Structure 1
Amino acid sequence: MNSIRLNRNLRVISLPMYDVWHPATLALTGELARRLQRRGFTEQQTRVVWPDDLVGHWQSQELLLSQTCGYPLVTLLDSVRTIGCFHYTAAGCQDYRYRSLYVVRDTDRQRTVADFFGQRLVCNSADSQSGYNVWVRRLTEQRSSITEFFSEVHFSGGHRQSLMALQQQTADITAVDCVSLALFSHYHPQWLHGLSVIEQSPLTPGLPLIASAQVTDQQVQLLRQTLTELVADPLNQPLCAPLFIGGFSEISREAYQGLIPTDRSLP
């Protein structure tokens, strides 16, 4: 196949969001790059990277394809193009949608979220749908806010660190998306030792796959076709199954507009 007309700004792809077991992420990303090259993208356009600065990476004009969170998509990334969303097979997922799970210590007597009024919340980060905005939306619907409901709010830097805070008893409750929790349980069950899920959130669209605004309509269609074929090919099941990937849907930005909060009460 002839190469896609080279836009020299487009240079990188990544799948950084669920990199719990790196060999599995590396294998799938490598196959994705090879399939894009067979579609006509060049090696220069499909360089796999592992970014430290995720927001900067997602905002880069070099970005051919990456995966972000729905909350940054609607609050920080107004110029990127939305390609679609993987379907995950983890418990709690449904088609392209996922949900958060509310996690506490096994030894806590409180067994509903309402029981944790006045307790200590830990979130992964303030730009996370599954770990932070899920609380903003839930408490706003109850005419409350994070700072009114909880006595303390901490930001840990990641879902793994939030679970550690529960285990170390420096926080009392957290929210973790069901895909992360499934991956943790499968690859690192000790990360969940002494913890349990007490409730779950409503379904929301899962983590969107995005591209730079520099990507053309033709390239968007080729990306979508490649992702569809990647997950549908039975030969790729050994690559997709370890990451709980079971499908792909073309999703527009509009599907994520419901994530925009009506309240941004920060501690």
Structure 2
Amino acid sequence: MSGAAPIAVLPMYDFPWTAAANDALWAAMAAWLIEAGVEAPKALTRGPDLDAQWRDPGLVFGQTCGYPYVTGLTDAVALIAAPIYGFPGCEEALHRSFIIRRASDARRALAEFRGATAGLNAHDSNSGMNLFRATIAPIAGGAPFFRAIMVTGSHEASVAAVAEGRADLAAIDCVSFALLARGRPELIERVAVVAESPRSPSLPFIANARLGASTIAAVRQALFAALADPNLAEARAALGLRGARPSSPADYDRVAEIERGAAAAGYARLE
């Protein structure tokens, strides 16, 4: 271990209705790790400062977004695995974003939304920005497409902004969209999918790169043990988590390729 107090974080799909499932998944992993002689926290850490959590030298297990991983975390973290989700829009260890409009909006094609307002969860989001940009790039014609960009802070807030008419379009990753449909169906009923983005690698499970090869291997074993544990079937179903596969940094080159493709089309920035 690095000497820092160990932490574990699962912030990416941690809604109030999935928190217990995330807790159960980690509790099983922590028990396995402690039995194997690896220092591990018994409970997840939660809080708003995701970048600090991802970079924490004591990070034993976490999940990050593909865009921050590619643009700033490759030297700080080690990849544990790529999750496989069972929701529409997911395929093996890939996912995509759904571009949504208000259900009552008469516009049906993306080109009709030129001059509209876009809702954006964060500028460093792969699903909310990078995949959104890649979907708009072919129709933007190398010029600004939106009248305004509204930063909402989360996918849930982006859906609410569209549903309430404060934004016209937003890109929501398909896992968040499905989980919101379960936990906030009244919100999802007020929006509709107008387009789908290209597929991208799913949000990687990570650990601090300085933990050492043996510890990282043990964390990977603990994850796969939890994914195979029949006692966790209900928790995995609540998260839509069907499994995972080992991943490498090369798997996430696709995130940068998507960014370069938008730039080559003359649309280097979502605007």
- Which among 84, 103, 107 is matched to residue 104 of structure 2? 107
Partner of 2:9: 14
Partner of 1:152: 148
Distance 1:139 1:266, change over 3 A: closer
Q: Deviations over 1:202-230 (max 9, x none)?
A: 21100001111212111222121211121
Deviation at 1:142, TM superposition (A): 5.2
Deviation at 1:32, TM superposition (A): 2.1
Aligned CA-pair RMSD: 1.8
Q: Is the 8 A contact 1:37 1:46 kept in 2?
A: no
Bigger Cα displacement from structure 2, 98-107 vs 211-220: 211-220
CA distance in 2, matches of 1:239, 1:156: 29
CA distance in 1, matches of 2:82, 2:235: 17
Structure 1-normalised TM-score?
0.91
Partner of 1:168: 164
Q: Does residue 120 in structure 1 map to residue 124 in structure 2?
A: no
* Equivalences, count: 260
The one-letter code sitting in structure 1 at the alignment partner of 2:32 is R
Structure 2 unmatched ranges of 5 or more: none
CA distance in 2, matches of 1:23, 1:179: 17
The one-letter code sitting in structure 2 at the alignment partner of 1:135 is F
Secondary structure of the corresponding residue to residue 122 of structure 2: coil
Q: Is the 8 A contact 1:124 1:162 kept in 2?
A: yes
Deviation at 1:84, TM superposition (A): 1.0
Q: Is the 8 A contact 1:19 1:25 kept in 2?
A: yes
CA distance in 2, matches of 1:186, 1:52: 23
Secondary structure of the corresponding residue to residue 64 of structure 1: strand
Secondary structure of the corresponding residue to residue 176 of structure 1: strand
Secondary structure of the corresponding residue to residue 76 of structure 1: helix
Partner of 1:265: 269
CA distance in 1, matches of 2:206, 2:226: 16
Partner of 2:232: 236
Deviation at 1:112, TM superposition (A): 2.1
CA distance in 1, matches of 2:127, 2:109: 18
